[in-house]
A and B are shown apart, each in its own frame.
Chain A
Amino acid sequence: MKRYLLVTLMALPLTAQASTPEQRGFQVYRQVCATCHSLNQVHFADLTGIGLAVPDIKAYAASHQVPDGVDDDGDPKTRAAHLTDPIGSPYPNEAMARLANHGDVPPDFSRLAMTEEGGAKRIETILRSYAPKPVDVVLGPGSYYNTAFAQNHIGMPPPLRDGQVAYADGTKATIPQMAQDVGAFLDWVAHPHRVARSDTGLVVLAYLAGMTVLLALLKRRVWKRLKESRQ
Chain B
Amino acid sequence: MSKPDTTPSGWLETRLPIVSAFRREYVDFAMPRNLTYLWNFGAFATIALALLIVSGIFLALNYTPSVAEAFNSIEMIDRHVSSGWLVRAIHMGGVSMLFAALYVHMARSLYYGSYKAPRELLWLTGLGLFILVMIAAFAGYILPWGQMSYWGATVVINAMNAVPLIGPALASWLLGGEGLGSVALHRIYVLHFVTGFSIVGVIVLHVAALHVVGSNNPTGVEPKASDDVVPFHPYYTTKDGLGLCLFLMVYAALIFFVPDLLTLANNYAMANPLVTPGDITPEWYFAPFYAILRAVPSKLGGLILSAGSLAVLFAVPWLDRSRVKSARYRPMLRWAILGLFLTFIALGVAGMHKPTGLWLAISRVSVAYYYAYFLILLPLLPKIEVTRPLPASLRGESV
Contacts and interface: CB of A to CB of B under 8 A. Distances in A.
- Are the chains A and B members of one assembly? yes
Contacts of B213: none
Nearest to A110: B75
Contact of B235 (A190, A193, A222): A222
Contacts of B253: 201, 205
Given A201-B253, A208-B252, A215 B265 contact: no
Interface in B343-399: 395, 399
B338 to A, nearest CB: 29
A120 interface: no
A8 interface: no
A192 interface: yes
B72 interface: yes
Contact of B269 (A115, A204, A227, A230): A115
Contacts, number: 84
Interface residues of B, number: 35
Interface in B225-248: 227, 230, 234-235, 238-239, 241-242, 245-246, 248
A143 B9 CA distance: 81
Interface string B75-86: 110111000011
A52 B255 CA distance: 28
Given A201-B252, A215-B241, A43 B259 contact: no
B256 A41 contact: no
Contact of A208 (B33, B227, B245): B245
B260 A208 contact: no
Interface residues of A, number: 34
B257 A198 contact: yes
Given A115-B265, A227-B399, A198 B256 contact: yes
A200 interface: yes
Contact of B242 (A110, A115, A219): A219
Given A43-B80, A215-B242, A200 B75 contact: no
Contact of A205 (B80, B85, B256): B256
Contacts of B274: none
A212 B260 CA distance: 26
Given A41-B75, A200-B86, A226-B235, A219 B256 contact: no
Contacts of B399: 223, 226-227
A41 B79 contact: yes
Nearest to B396: A230
Given A201-B255, A204-B252, A227-B399, 11 more contacts: A41-B72, A42-B79, A114-B268, A193-B85, A197-B89, A198-B256, A201-B252, A201-B253, A201-B256, A202-B256, A211-B245
